[in-house]
Amino acid sequence: MKRLFQILISFFILLACSDINAQSIKDIKINEVLLYNDSGIVDEYQNRSPWIELFNTAYNSVNIGGCYLSNDASNPQKFKILKSAPNAIIGSRDYSLFWADSDTLRGVNHLNFTLKEGDFLGFYDADGNLIDSLTIQVSISNVSYGCLQDGSNQRGQLKQMTPKGNNTPEEMQTSSQKFKKLDPFGIGMAVIAMSVVFLSLIILYLVFKQIGLKFQQEPKKKTISKTGKHGESEEIYEETSGDVYAAIGLALHIYTSELHDFEEAVLTINKVSRSYSPWSSKIYGLRQNPDKK
């Protein structure tokens, strides 16, 4: 039982640690950058400006509030991302967009610098440590530069602009879409679902069975610790019937109630004296047979 509890506690500790490590600033990547925005998306003021897209490679939300963006390696803390900014929290496998228009008065997602070809761009944590960086190598209008696949280390010119979207939309498919092609009628999904359910029930059965056996063995262990003889205590616990215990209890009751008769082992024989009178003796009243000579 104690061993089972240790395993469960270790599992939850590992799960908590993995969750803490997963929520790391190191999961953020500079995913896409556009220098010349002539026909792309517009900001809240209907202006087309250069933009930077950050991507969260983790499967949990990450808060980048307090981190920095900079186009100068010697000044890593050039633009601080406010913790109160709506785009500071990036969801699971999601994106956050910043406008590189050098006009911070337009909002918290507008940077205090702009970009050009050959510029350095870095993303730093709250302590000024470099998390990700790139050098912009594309200066074509409406052509963005970034990760060839979301969050990858291979960068280059992208086929199309994809702000807040997948960098390879024509190639990437969701897991559900892939599974639907493999299993169009849902038979495989049903088999997997039923297998998971039955496997869970089997695991629960085994766990509760072990717990039950553990509690059943507790009386045996207590008997063994009292007698000090492993073999004899088990034999008494397993083979002694209820009739024997009933007879022992009755004998103890009779003994304590003093219902048993105790007899002495010494016998005393006393002589009985009786007065004798010839007149009352019957032998004198009998006729004697005559002697035959």
Which DSSP category does 248 fall into?
H
Section 272-285 average pLDDT: 59
Q: How far apart are CA 291 and CA 221, in angstroms?
A: 97
Contact 79, 114 (CB under 8 A): no
Assigned CATH for 25-172:
2.60.40.1260
pTM greater than 0.75 (yes/no) = no
Contact 122, 67 (CB under 8 A): no
Reported as a single tens digit per residue, the pLDDT across 11-68 is 555 555 544 444 589 999 999 999 999 999 999 999 999 999 999 999 999 999 999 9
Contact 43, 99 (CB under 8 A): yes
Reported as a single tens digit per residue, the pLDDT across 197-206 is 999 999 999 9
Domain regions of the chain by residue span: 25-172, 173-241
3-state DSSP assignment of residue 209? helix
* Percent composition of the chain: helix, strand, coil (DSSP 3-state, to 5): 35, 15, 50
